[in-house]
Structure 1
């Protein structure tokens, strides 16, 4: 498995949003949910319209089997309300075109993200990039590694910082300043 990175540059995020919204509203919303919730792709894909009608996501994590509640940002809430307007409660948020009321799979989510990444010339991108992007920007805005560690259910703050690429940023910055 390749090691993926968060999307650090807000301009790149804006361009990906624009690109995805132009191509597919579903794909745009998938990206928004991922970068605004910190949820794993395995917890995003099974979401249904009824799950998006509350001001939070309430779910049992697939990986940990732990109950989790994540409040939605106001911007995400607004976008989701618009997206689900004509949809039925039982429908999947990210419905596949294959079969009747089935969600897209992990491989389709990966293809969507890879296409957007190619558009902005990014490498090291995968479905986990969404979660890492959330974490990176959450940390940059709050500097609260303990809270982020709790959100991600990590055992140690060092794990969280390495996970979101902060350690890599620090090393890169130090190497740029290094002189002999």
Structure 2
């Protein structure tokens, strides 16, 4: 059984998330932040063990958090984190029952992600200068992000062993180290080949790296590098929307659905464990649903 003091139990839980649940670093950091706030609150109340918790105390903590005027989505995330954590405490026989299971999450409007239309995508993809090695590399990055719906963390971790250029496929490990195969288009394949043949060695200048996308140091590009790059090319392309690397992922999913892809297929491409996460993209498909209804329903 685990030691029953608050911080040791929390540390054991975070190790459990990493080694057994195989969650990503970002997800674990999010759990840690929420649960550290709970621990700090309990310490102020002179509570030394999670076994002392009941629903009333959990509700007091959530009211305390709500007074800080945090967003409803953040409060809902905290409640979800508590439920998951308490399930772990039940498993470890520290808590007899889940005292957050009856607490309702606040209702909130899920934010619809920004996407680019096809003309904006074309402008963005054409923004890099193909007369320069860096421009050739950046064009390949933009093409691949749009053609495959990669998370930026997956792009920066991409190595040659993950690429099948002949069959236009990627082998990826996403959140929780889950493996999936994702196709990409011929234009993205051409951009990658151009990068490998004309630019990558010039950028590396004799250095060696297993990573696909590298800087002059020979090290893989970082998330921040990709973020800054996309902002630069969005300005150059005259795109006024606020876009990030994730915008290309949203746009990939949206354009697939607009052109008739099945939601389950899009879920597989994006690596979502729950189709509810993928359903956010169906807001853009109402027009398609109306058109399909008009084509199919016999009574006009």
Q: CA RMSD in A?
A: 2.7
Aligned to 2:233: 116
**In 1, Cα distance between equivalents of 2:285 and 2:172:** 32
Q: Which moved more, 1:119-128 or 1:31-40?
A: 119-128
Q: CA deviation at 1:27?
A: 1.1
Question: Does 2:217 match 1:104?
Answer: no
Tell me, yes or no, if the aligned pair for 2:163 and 2:171 is still in contact at 8 Å: no
| Larger-gyration structure (1/2) | 2
TM-score when normalising by structure 2 = 0.48
Distance 1:82 1:133 in 2: 24
State yes or no: 1:81 paired with 2:199. Answer: no
1:114·1:125 contact (CA, 8 Å) conserved in 2?
yes
SS at 1:59's partner residue? strand
Cα distance in 1, alignment partners of residues 161 and 269 from structure 2: 23
Give the equivalent residue in structure 2 for 1:178. Answer: none
Q: Give the CA deviation at 1:90.
A: 4.1
Q: 1:36: Cα distance to partner?
A: 0.3
The answer to whether the 8 A contact 2:258-2:284 is kept is: no
Q: Which sits farther off after the overlay, 121-130 or 20-29?
A: 20-29
The answer to whether 1:59 aligns with 2:59 is no
- Name 1:174's counterpart in structure 2: none
Instruction: Report the counterpart of residue 40 of structure 1 in structure 2.
Output: 151
Identify which of structures 1 and 2 has the higher relative contact order when contacts are C-alpha pairs closer than 8 Å and 6+ apart: 1
Aligned-residue offset at 1:123: 2.2
> Unaligned stretches of 5+ in structure 2?
1-110, 202-207, 288-300
Q: How many residues align?
A: 163
User: Which residue of 24, 31, 45 maps to 2:142?
Assistant: 31
TM-score by length of 1: 0.77
- SS of equivalent to 1:95: coil
Please point out which of 130, 149, 154 is paired with 2:267. 149
Structure 2 CA distance for aligned equivalents of residues 132 and 25 of structure 1: 24
- For 1:121-136, list aligned pairs within 5 A: 121-136=239-254
Quote how far apart the aligned CAs of 1:132 are: 0.9
Which residue is 2:256 aligned to?
138
Q: Distance in 2 between matches of 1:59 and 1:167?
A: 27
